[in-house]
Amino acid sequence: MTERITGHTELIGLIATPIRHSLSPTMHNEAFAKLGLDYVYLAFEVDNQELKDVIQGFRALKLRGFNVSMPNKTKVCEYLDALSPAAQLVGAVNTVVNDNGVLTGHITDGTGYMRALAEEKIDIIGKKMTLCGAGGAATAICVQAALDGVKEISIFNQKDRFFDNAKETMKKIQDNTNCTVNLYDIADVKRMGTEIDDSVIFTNATGVGMKPYVGQTLLPDANMLRPDLVVSDVVYNPLKTRLLEIAEEKGCRTINGLSMMLWQGAKAFEIWTGKQMPVDFIKNILF
């Protein structure tokens, strides 16, 4: 007879659509089992239309917390009681904790990114970074980097709806932190070269590199990279994107998106349980 789930077991959820491909249920359930914590983590296919009812239901059932992914990360803020400082600046949430009926939203993607760098002893505090992207992942990274003390961030994005989003993010960061933010059209190749020259790290924070863009990169010229530059990618499938292949050839240190993904999950785990996720153990299970 299994004693894994009893009348005492508490539920932690994940709401998104599509969601069946997610690695988070395996990550969290394995970590709960490893540490002997009496929780179970389940994924629910939830879209914006059902969101209000779902959050009400989660409140009524007194869930300890839940993760939120697309398309609900922004909309869910309307139904929460409080937001962390980073979630307020990003305007999105990927983790919610229920403390005695008070639902507080956090965004752990940015802390995941910063922790992934710290684990590799890469220090970008007080320095400059250049990144491509202005969507959810990029915004979370920029906000957390600015809150943690990165001095200057240069964002490159194509002129789509995310470009306007980046203008707002830029203003919010500059009003609330000491970080300077620059925003450029990704078509400005010459400017990208000079910004990378002044930076300690170059990051791809878009989906270019994963399906349907496998084998592609937004870096226009391999010669923009130099051996003492760190190059990172938020994409973790494939683990080695075209950008990281080029960076390796140029002798750069590279960081793939797996570590960020693990550490954003680890931060959520800590918020719910107060315990450190056994990250090395989980990494071996997932990959």
As annotated, the active-site residues are 73
Q: How far is the CB of 34 from ligand NAD (least distance, A)?
A: 21
Binding piece for ligand NAD, criterion CB under 6 A, among 20-28, 34-42, 153-161, 278-286: 153-161
Residues 122-141 that bind ligand NAD (CB under 6 A): 133-138
Closest residue by Cα to residue 279 from 264, 255, 268, 263:
263
d(CA 129, CA 174): 15
| 56 close to 109: Cβ distance less than 8 angstroms | no
Phi, psi of 62 (to 5 degrees): 60, 45
| 109 close to 260: Cβ distance less than 8 angstroms | yes
d(CA 187, CA 252): 24
Residues 207-226 that bind ligand NAD (CB under 6 A): 207-208, 210, 218
Helix (H, G, I), strand (E, B) or coil at 128: strand
| 183 close to 153: Cβ distance less than 8 angstroms | no
Q: Which is nearer to ligand NAD, 160 or 249 (CB)?
A: 160
| 153 close to 178: Cβ distance less than 8 angstroms | no
Q: Which is nearer to ligand NAD, 65 or 133 (CB)?
A: 133
d(CA 129, CA 201): 5
Instruction: List the one residue from 87, 234, 243, 252 that touches ligand NAD (CB under 6 A).
Output: 234
Q: Which is nearer to ligand NAD, 160 or 185 (CB)?
A: 160
Measured N-to-C along each axis, helices 109-119 and 257-273 cross at an angle, to the nearest 10 degrees, of 120
Q: Which is nearer to ligand NAD, 65 or 112 (CB)?
A: 112
Q: How far is the CB of 134 from ligand NAD (least distance, A)?
A: 4
Residues 84-123 that bind ligand NAD (CB under 6 A): 109, 112
Q: Quick check: 243 binds ligand NAD (CB under 6 A)?
A: no
Q: Quick check: 143 binds ligand NAD (CB under 6 A)?
A: no
Binding interface with ligand NAD (CB under 6 A)? 109, 112, 133-138, 157-158, 160, 162, 206-208, 210, 218, 234-236, 257, 260-261, 264
